[in-house]
Amino acid sequence: MSVVQAERTLRSATAGTSLTILGATGSVGKQTLDLVARNPGRWQVEALTANSDVDGLAAAARACNARYVAIGDEAAYPALKAALAGTGIEVAAGAEAVREAGARPAEIVLTAIVGAAGLPPTLAAVKRGATLAIANKETLVCAGPVVTALARASGATLLPVDSEHNAIFQVFDHAAPERVRKVILTASGGPFRTFSREAMRHVSVKDACAHPVWSMGAKISIDSATLMNKGLELIEAEQLFAVGHARLDVIVHPQSVIHSMVEYVDGSVLAQMGTPDMRIPIAYALAWPERIETPCARLDLARIVNLSFEAPDLERFPALALAWEALRAGGSAPCVLNAANEIAVAAFIAGKVGFLDIADVVSRTLDKTGSGPLDGLDAVLEADRLAREIATALVAAR
């Protein structure tokens, strides 16, 4: 059964619906807060979290009158406490404080913390049966079976915020998934879509972050450049929708107008289209099953010159091939893939490895770890720890 429990009694966001935003100072967090500000009274912000951005977190908390804020960096606690003095907002710091944000009684929890660090607070929200608006791929990539089992037990609802998965959600037949022949995720192809391997050998971090369509943070921009982002989305899609990996596919669509498609057994293909603005899928998830107004530009079909498609090149972009391998292997392999990729991308940003080394570090880490069972959170954390240790050593050896 799909974890996206569309057969449940639909719950609508009503005036004053409580909302927690995990990762409030990142790109998705900021766009979520923009929607909150544009809809006064619709959501009451219960909690906000950030990693180390004191000024951004304090400003956001003041603007939306949050009840609780948590910052991951414990050293930032005094500055955050001072910045919010006199507001009555509860302030906390450290990993446990961030986890507590997910445990607080918000009806909707939007999880947008980049990386595996978002797992503990997300699991805390799932355990209490909240509605999860998931913008953090790594939660389902690292611990998909654990998260989905907890969701079934608690009655939590998982709603995808990523534009691709949100698009699939909108056109997927949740009541009869057997009628779906294929789920097709679209990829822009990133900034190096037409580059040769040799040309990619010399690209900079700035080049990799210059996404041709979307405005995103460094980590996800680089993942888009390697196509690892699409690989992580494949793994996530298998967890979110009632299809196996044999019914998943990726197509490169440079214009990013069609955000994903679902092919049915009768030959029909349903696609969700829109301008590339993350506030559209965020608004859909926060207001589901309703639709609300957004300030996003409307799609002008008459001005679109063409919509083109091409198959992804797995030789030039081996990260996507590695993700396919991890998806088919199952078990701990997706967790290892994600952890090694985080280490390799961080090393690229720090100037320790080249762009092409990212996939190589991930490949070698997968070779050294293999795939083991994931029977609980402890197994997830151990697989993540071991992969990071191996990947770090591989980076250091270069």
pLDDT tens, position by position, for the chain (398 residues)? 333 443 333 344 445 899 999 999 998 999 999 999 999 999 999 999 999 999 999 999 999 999 999 999 999 999 999 999 999 999 999 999 999 999 999 999 999 988 778 889 999 999 999 999 999 877 899 889 889 999 999 999 999 999 999 999 999 999 999 999 999 999 999 999 999 999 999 999 999 998 877 767 788 899 999 999 999 999 999 999 989 999 999 999 999 999 999 999 999 999 999 998 999 999 999 999 999 999 999 999 888 889 999 999 999 999 999 999 999 999 999 999 999 999 999 999 999 999 999 999 999 999 999 888 888 888 998 999 999 999 999 999 98
> Quick check: bond before 289 cis, omega within 30?
yes
Name 182's bridge partners.
263
Is domain 17-165 classified as CATH 3.40.50.10320? no
On whether the pTM is more than 0.85, the answer is yes
User: What is the four-CA torsion angle of 193, 196, 197, 203, rounded to 10 degrees?
Assistant: -70
How far apart, in whole angstroms, are the C-alpha atoms of residue 3 and residue 304? 36
In the chain, the amino acid numbered 257 is V
> Quick check: bond before 120 cis, omega within 30?
no
How far apart, in whole angstroms, are the C-alpha atoms of residue 165 and residue 259? 8
Residue with the two structure tokens 């690209």: 203
How far apart, in whole angstroms, are the C-alpha atoms of residue 174 and residue 197? 40
Structure tokens at 2: 């799909």
